[in-house]
């Protein structure tokens, strides 16, 4: 009998709870802006999204911000729906298992924080300048 017998991977609700805890832990100056962003958890990114991003392997995308960054919003914008942070459960779990050097909650916090930075108008290059996560 192995140590993994009887264990199951976290489901979408557990990943969402980790993400909401990460959002709730943001500093006060970001809390109101963060509260306006919805969180959705799916098994994988939809094919259309992967095609648009030119990603062949669905395991390569752990999360994405879907919305208009705050730096680009205008009072003239007609809301088409809430800004959303999408988290993709299977790629997150796969990265966590493959890395083996961080906890699942820590990885979810990282993905949420990265996508929230996009909500605040940061580019991937801006984020990489202070968060060299891949190293």
Containing 20, the helix (H) or strand (E) segment is: helix 12-24
Share of the chain above pLDDT 70, in %: 87
- What's the CATH number of domain 12-70+81-130, 3.40.50.2300, 3.30.2010.20, 2.60.220.10, 1.10.10.10? 3.30.2010.20
CA separation for the pair 73, 13 (Å, rounded):
30
Q: Which residue has the higher pLDDT, 121 or 52?
A: 52
pLDDT tens per residue across span 7-32: 778 999 999 999 999 888 888 888 88
SS3 36: coil
pLDDT at site 2: 52
Q: What is the reported pLDDT for 105?
A: 93
- Tens of pLDDT, residue by residue over 77-114, are 666 778 999 999 999 999 999 988 889 999 999 899 88
37-42 and 83-88 beta bridge pairing? parallel
Average pLDDT over residues 37-63: 96
Residue 1 has pLDDT above 70, yes or no: no
């Amino acid at each position: 009998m192995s140590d993994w017998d009887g264990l199951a991977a976290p489901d979408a609700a557990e990943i969402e709870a980790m993400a909401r805890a990460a959002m709730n832990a943001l500093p006060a100056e970001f809390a109101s802006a963060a509260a306006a962003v919805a969180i959705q958890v799916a098994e994988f990114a939809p094919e259309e999204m992967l095609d648009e991003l030119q990603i062949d392997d669905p395991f390569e995308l752990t999360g994405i911000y879907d919305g208009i960054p705050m730096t680009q919003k205008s009072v003239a914008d007609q809301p088409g729906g809430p800004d959303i942070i999408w988290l993709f459960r299977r790629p997150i779990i796969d990265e966590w298992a493959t890395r083996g050097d961080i906890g699942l909650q820590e990885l979810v916090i990282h993905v949420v924080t990265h996508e929230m930075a996009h909500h605040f108008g940061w580019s991937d290059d801006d984020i990489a300048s202070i968060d060299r996560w891949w190293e």
